[in-house]
Amino acid sequence: MNVILYLLGASLILGGGGLAVFLWSLRSGQYDDMEGAANRILFDDEER
């Protein structure tokens, strides 16, 4: 049953990684303007 240790480790690291990425994206304000994000994709960026 040693395989269970690898499984536990792997699932926790992957899950924890996903959680960390989500918290980062939340903190960097990526969910602040969902409606704008949905529309922005339809328009090309203006290069400065």
Partner 1 sequence: MNLFKFSPSPCGRGLGGGGVATSAAPSPQPPPARGGGESFAPLSPAENTCVHCDQAAPPGRRFCCPGCAAAYETVQSLGLGRYYTQRILDPTLRALRPDPPERRDLSRFITTHADGAHELTLAIDGLQCGACVWLIESVLAREPDLLVGRVNMTTRRLRLHWYGSAERATALVDAIERLGYRLMPFDAAALAAARDSTDRALIRALAVAGFAAGNVMLLSIGIWAGEAGGLLHDMGPATRDLLHWVSALIAMPAIAYAGRPFFASAAAALRQMRTNMDVPISLGVILVTGMSLVQTMQGGPHTYFDSAVTLLFFLLIGRVLDHRARGQARATAEQLLTLRASDVAVLQSDGSIERRGQHAVAPGDRVLVGLGERIGVDGVVERGASLLDASLVTGESLPVAAAPGTQVFAGTLNLGETLVVRATATGNGTLLAECARLIEAAEARRSRFVVLADRVARRYAPAVHVTALSTFLWWYFAAGVPASEALLTACAVLIITCPCALALAVPVVQVIATGRLFRAGVLLKSPTALERLADVDTVVFDKTGTLTEPTMALVKGPDFDQFALRIAASLAAGSRHPLARSLLAASGPVAVADDVVEYPGQGIQAGDIRLGSWAFCGRAPSPQPPPAGGGGESKLLPLPLREGVGGKGPVLWLTRPDAPPVRFDFAETLRPDAVPTLERLRRLGLAVRLLSGDHAAAVAPVAAALGIASWPAERTPVQKVAAVEALVASGRKVLMVGDGLNDSPSLAAASVSASPASAADISQTVADLVFQGNLLAPVAAVIETARRARAVMRQNLALSIGYNVLMVPLAAAGFVTPWLAAAAMSSSSVLVMANSFRLRGWPA
Q: Which is nearer to partner 1, 6 or 42 (CB)?
A: 42
Query: Considering the rule CB under 8 A, would residue 31 count as an interface residue with partner 1?
Result: yes
Query: Considering the rule CB under 8 A, would residue 13 count as an interface residue with partner 1?
Result: no
CA distance 30 to 18: 15
Which stretches of the chain bind partner 1, using CB under 8 A? 1, 4, 8, 11-12, 15-16, 18-19, 22-23, 26-27, 31-36, 38-40, 42-43, 46, 48
